[in-house]
Amino acid sequence: MTIISMQHLSTPLMLPIMISALLFSAPACSNQTAVNTHEDLTDYKEGQASASESLASTEKPAFITKKIATFDEPWAITALPTINNEPPKLLVTQKTGELFIVDTATGAKTTISGIPKVAYGGQGGLGDIVLAPDFATSNHVYMSYVEAGNGTDNNKFGAKVIKATLIGLDIATPRLQDLTPIWEQIPKVKGQGHYSHRLLFSPDGKYLYISSGERQEKTPAQDMSVNLGKIIRLNLDGSVPADNPFVDNSNDIAAQFWSIGHRNVLGMAFDEKGRLWAHEMGPRGGDEFNLIEKGHNYGWPIVSNGRNYTGTDIPDHETRPEFTPPKISWTPVISPSSISIYNAGKYNDFPAWQGNALISGLSSKALIVVDFDENSHATERYRYDMGERIRSVLNVDGQVWVLEDGDNSGLLQLIPQ
């Protein structure tokens, strides 16, 4: 096994990056109370053997990591427009309800006020943030978060998406104002898992895609009367595009859907050819990397390449050809948490990754690099052992930034070697 060394610049600790690293199967929703069984160990050994063949490469780029700042339960990261060739400034959300501007040159963090009240707990809280396509002139951002219900929805929760104006970027007290509702999960349900609530704009800037998890309820993913377990496509004002695949359905909720049959989609990205890719957490095994196509049904919970947490089997995708199978399926799981497509810009720190998907892993504590071909096939190309759970990854002009997961977690820049 070839091993490439990596270290934090701020510490002498050396972290191995193993070319064929695979970890014990942990539940894809990262339930840390779960215990591996002998069957899991068998899966691990079989997966390790096959992955060793497919991942081995003598050309794997190496890097070290530089810690820029520290956060408690960070969730999402996005970049502000670069000004005068200065180092990028990043927006970072914390699940507990905080939003920061981070100066990557100094590590200084500036708090942004005006954040709506979030329902923090479990997998819920403040979620994603993306800049509107016209941010340069409007200063609009879109955010997702979890809100608590009231009245008949007391003790129930759901994700919500808003648009807001970010002002004061040039002063010490930036804030959000003019908060406007765009979308929400219907219905709110008990429990605090599988919200998904990732946000993505189409390459032409006309549409907003929202991942909506099935809230650990399984059946909503196939229920056309609720918007759980779906990928949503909307106009930027929250209205429904006329060419959505289920517009002619008998209910207005279904008109929102772009694709159905999803479990917990925590990463979406368009590649260089305009194809939409998404990964989602499987149950016990069977994490998925999917090419998302208009109107397709991805089968959850009827089919999965994983098993139920009880150990009972779920029919594989190949048993039901009417459901779209994943391009990659991971067992043991990687617990994918975000995705960013690598494209060189002002910098080109990792030319070997050009056009590849960078996927952050939680239980796998890994950065996974996935390649695509002309025929929409996808292949895991490299895997880097990061030593910590990785919550988010972002390419900015050919530089790469990652967020660790949990308390006292680092914002790290990957420095090529």
Among candidates 198, 218, 291, which has minimal Cα distance to 261? 218
3-state secondary structure 227-242: CCCEEEEEECCCCCCC
Count of alpha carbons within 13 angstroms of residue 208, beta-carbon side = 29
DSSP 181-223: EEEE-SS-BSSS---EEEEEE-TTS-EEEEEE--TT-SGGGG-
Catalytic residue, chosen from 8, 38, 140, 194, is: 194
Structure tokens given for 50: 């096959």
**CA pair distance 22, 287, nearest whole angstrom:** 14
**CA pair distance 112, 358, nearest whole angstrom:** 28
Q: Which residues 6+ apart lie within 8 Å of 4 measured at CB?
A: 16, 17, 19, 60, 62
Structure tokens given for 80: 């502000």
SS3 content of the chain, % helix, strand, coil (to 5): 10, 40, 50
- Cα dihedral angle (393, 238, 180, 263), rounded to 10 degrees? -40
**CA pair distance 19, 4, nearest whole angstrom:** 8
Burial of 242 (0-12, 13-18, 19+ CB in 10 A): exposed
3-state SS class at 124: strand
Question: Is residue 377 annotated as a catalytic residue, yes or no?
Answer: no
For residue 133, the 8-state DSSP code is: T
Q: Tell me the pairing of strands 207-212 and 196-201.
A: antiparallel
3-state SS class at 50: helix
What are the strands of the beta sheet with 98-103, ordered from one edge? Answer: 74-79, 89-94, 98-103, 109-112
Catalytic residues: 194
